[in-house]
Chain A
């Protein structure tokens, strides 16, 4: 009896682990993109900046993907929910430049810029926002911190109309800037900085972006969104 207690400890821990693993699988939304076959077939397109991406919105799933090499894509956009599901993050990589946006739909949001070299991303933004991650042809995984909130994330390659959008406008002399992350399941999260030039802009939830027209209405102001797309370089 007494001899077996260490084994009971081990098995209890293992059982707890299995239960938590199954529970985690149950809470994970199944809407994450899984179709990598197009990207895995190493496309011969060595001209990734070709404007063919403009037509990709019609058939995103079957479009040749923006992956020139197997391990380190240099022209691609990734998006998905952060760990815990409290927000979304999008990363667009174009050459060795990268733009990222993290947003929880209200106060926590930040634009970041940085470099993508050797499979690693290091990005910074206003008010101490920072993102460090590793990227491959399938996903970007790492940590992002903004407004004192931190997230771990692992997000996957997305195709238009999913991805990252931004809009800027000038209202009574103040620059306003909005950002949206549109996920493959059609859900979106966005925020609206009413004074984007300040060091730590305060943000509110953005009006719904009509992805088809690229517009969003905030009161009597119409915002015209442009994609931030690593494939085409739009927004860089």
Chain B
């Protein structure tokens, strides 16, 4: 059962797990590249679909991103509990559902923000913050794609999911710091 179909030589112990990562990583890289290239080539319109009730698109995006960042903290906490890394806390039966649904909602919150960024503003480099934000934004969706694609796979090394999950979490927090945190500290916290 350790033989990899099509492999002529007996696979080493690492390759059977690593091979499973190749295609998801390639697709993730493709996602990140596609977003970045689209953001660079598409002429920003300055306008995109918006949500009523906020004072400006910047506030809409900042609050959506903040919601996603808070849920990302839930992701981190629930993942630590699931892996038994929190002392004296045994994983309750609903922790898996909490992790899944907080992740799904967080991801869906980021999509409108990303579309506004890509369509209205584009991949920009006029300051370090903006350049970092553009790069992190593309990488985040690539990393998230990898995480989703490898999640159902069996036989991965134990550290793979925590590593990719941690990367997704770190990227989202970096995106938030280079956008919503900057925005709130520059223009004030309001709706």
Contacts and interface: CB of A to CB of B under 8 A. Distances in A.
Contacts of B148: 6-7, 9-10
Given A84-B50, A85-B47, A152-B46, A5 B126 contact: no
The size bracket of the interface on A is 35 or more
Interface residues on B, range: 35 or more
Instruction: Name the prevailing secondary structure of the A interface residues.
Output: mixed
Contacts of B186: 145, 150
A13 B108 contact: yes
B23 to A, nearest CB: 13
Interface string A2-28: 011111011011001100110111011
B43 A23 contact: no
A80 interface: yes
B45 A152 contact: no
B58 interface: yes
A28 B48 CA distance: 7
A83 B48 contact: yes
B47 A148 contact: no
Interface in A140-193: 141-143, 145, 148-156
Interface in B113-137: 114-116, 118-122, 124-127
Contacts of B44: 139, 141, 154
B145 interface: yes
A135 B100 CA distance: 43
Interface string B34-53: 00000000011111111000
A188 B124 CA distance: 28
Contacts of A154: 43-46, 120-122
A6 B49 contact: no
With most chain A CB atoms within 10 A of its CB, the pick from B47, B49, B57, B188 is B47
B152 interface: yes
B46 A153 contact: yes
B100 A81 contact: no
Contacts of A20: 48-49, 111-112, 115
B108 A16 contact: yes
B43 A84 contact: no
Nearest to A14: B111
A12 B109 CA distance: 12
Given A6-B148, A9-B104, A83-B46, A120 B126 contact: yes
B58 A150 contact: yes
A41 to B, nearest CB: 19
Contacts of A204: none
A163 B122 CA distance: 24
A141 B118 CA distance: 13
Contacts of A134: 124-126
6 contacts: A6-B147, A12-B108, A13-B108, A83-B46, A84-B57, A141-B46
Interface of B: 43-50, 55-58, 100, 103-104, 107-108, 111-112, 114-116, 118-122, 124-127, 144-145, 147-149, 151-152, 183, 186-188
Closest CB pairs A-B (n = 5): A134-B126, A154-B44, A6-B148, A24-B48, A3-B152
